[in-house]
Amino acid sequence: MPALPSTPSEPSPFGKLSHKRSFEGVIEQIRAKINAGQLREGDRLPPERELAEQLGVSRNTVREALRSLENSGVLRLKKGPGGGAFIHSGSGDAVTKALSDVYRLGAVQPASLTEARLILGPAVARLACERWDAQDMQALEDNVRKSREANERNDHLLRAQANLEFHKLLANASKNPILVVMTNALVEMVREFLQVLGAMPNDYVLASRERMLDHLRRRDTAAAAEEAERYLEWTQAIYFERMGQSASATAERKDPPTA
């Protein structure tokens, strides 16, 4: 995509910064132009040198701002010929990373995670049931087949990956980008959770997936939402049971003798 025009005969698209920390001002101006529709997905910003001159800041300040915007998913930075800083709508990766970090730091308790899934999951299933297309159905069916085959081969890692991916595919079928971002973030937090507690018993998972596919094919929204809720309540009960066992084992463990 072409860079924003910045020739001597034309006014600068960016204004000089005179307050706040400079790199924050750079970020604010770029975000403002996105909000105003002056910058859109795929547009390329001027090179660092030009942008620094237009804003009246150093190239290091511009570079710091661009990296911050890349981390938040607003920009995609490409190197080499044809590279530069491109406006990027993102896929919610920044939200997912932020929530995962919050979870790792212990600010989100497992009970809150499962509660959020119980609220979101049935709504996603209901919309997916109404809005799925042939591509969505094919992806969901392929996912369930992959999970079944992994189970038959006792490939627990691939099975767990497929089981988590199912939730993301179902969210994609809802055609709601906000629900997609929220679901992806919760699934990644669950992935962290399962590394401690272990995967779910797959016989029930596969049976639930088959029932969900049947509800989707029949566009039975009530049954799809109920299936999602029942499945998530089942997983919640197992999570809490394993957490209790883990806590009990920790409590019964004796301190090692001191020297």
DSSP run (H or E) holding 86: strand 84-87
Q: What is the pLDDT of residue 139?
A: 97
- Which has more confidence, 135 or 17? 135
The number of beta carbons lying within 10 Å of the beta carbon of residue 100 is 16
pLDDT of residue 249: 42
Alpha-carbon gap, residue 65 to 59, rounded angstroms = 10
pLDDT at 206: 93
Q: SS3 of 228, please?
A: helix
Tokens linked to 184? 């992806």
Outline where 105-133 has alpha helix (H).
Answer: 110-131
Give the span between the Cα atoms of 45 and 30, in whole angstroms.
9
Domains plus CATH for the chain?
22-87 (1.10.10.10), 93-240 (1.20.120.530)
Helix (H) or strand (E) holding 133: none
- For residues 143-165, average pLDDT: 92
* Helices and strands per DSSP (H, E), number in the chain: 10, 2
